Amino acid sequence: MSVKSKTQTGHPEAKDALLDRLAIVELAARFADAANRIDTAVFSDLWTNDGVWEIGPPVNQRFSGRAAIVSAFEQLLKDRWQVFIQLPSASYVAEVDGDRATGRGYVNEIAKSKNAESNDNFNLSIYEDICERQSGVWRFRQRRYRVLYLDETQLGGHGIEGQPSTLMEPTSDPVVPKDRGTQ
C-alpha cells in the first residue's frame, strides 16, 4: 500500500490521507466491477460531469463528459463479448493533494468475442487517473488507459452463461444479501 500526501505521518491529516487513498482505490475497484457486470448506472456515478476517458491504441478514442463516457462504455462492452473480465492489480498508487489526486494502476483484461470472426483479447494495461472529491465523494476527472501487452489470438475456452451476481449491490449500508432479511 503506497500513500503520498502533502501531510506528514503521525498527524491527524495522515489518517485522512489514508482514508482518501482507500476511497480512490475503491473507486478503481468499482470501475472494474461495473465493467465486469456492464452496470451503466454504477459506471456513470464514477465520473465527474466533465470527466474525460482516453483509451489508447488499438482503440484510440477520447470521450468527454459523463454522457459520452457512458455511451462509449455501452458501445465498447454490450453485445460484443461472450466474456469480459477486468482484473485490477493490488498495486494501485495514489497521491492525494486536498480535493485532487492522481493515481496509477495496472489491469489484466480477458475478453472472448461473441463473433468467431472477431479477435479475442488478453491484455495487460495501465490506468493513469486524475480524481476529484466532489461533495465528499471521489470521482474520476480523467482516466487514461494504455495497453502494455496485447494478444488477440482466439482464446481456447468459452463463456458460461449468466452475468456476475447482483447479490451484493454497492451500498454504504452493511452488506446484507438481497434474499435474506431479518427474521
The C-alpha cell that represents 2 in the structure block: 503506497
Residue 48 belongs to some domain of the structure? yes
Measured CA to CA, the distance from residue 183 to residue 39 in angstroms comes to 31
Model pTM above 0.85 = no
- 81, part of any domain: yes
Count up the domains in the chain and report the number: 1
| Cβ(53)–Cβ(31) below 8 Å | no
Pick from 157, 29, 150: nearest CA to 91:
29
CATH code for the domain of 64: 3.10.450.50
Q: What is the pLDDT of residue 109?
A: 96
Q: How far apart are CA 121 and CA 104, in angstroms?
A: 22
pLDDT of amino acid 10 = 57
| 49 lies in some domain | yes
Q: Which domain holds residue 134?
A: 2-151
pLDDT tens for 46-66 read 999 999 999 999 999 999 999
Give the CA angle between residues 163, 166, 172 to the nearest 5°. 145
Cell of 10: 503521525
Residues paired with residue 53 on neighbouring β-strands, in sequence order = 63, 143
Low pLDDT (below 70) residues in the chain: 1-12, 161-183
174 occurs within a structural domain: no
**What pLDDT, on the 0 to 100 scale, is given for residue 182?**
44
Write down the pLDDT at residue 171: 53
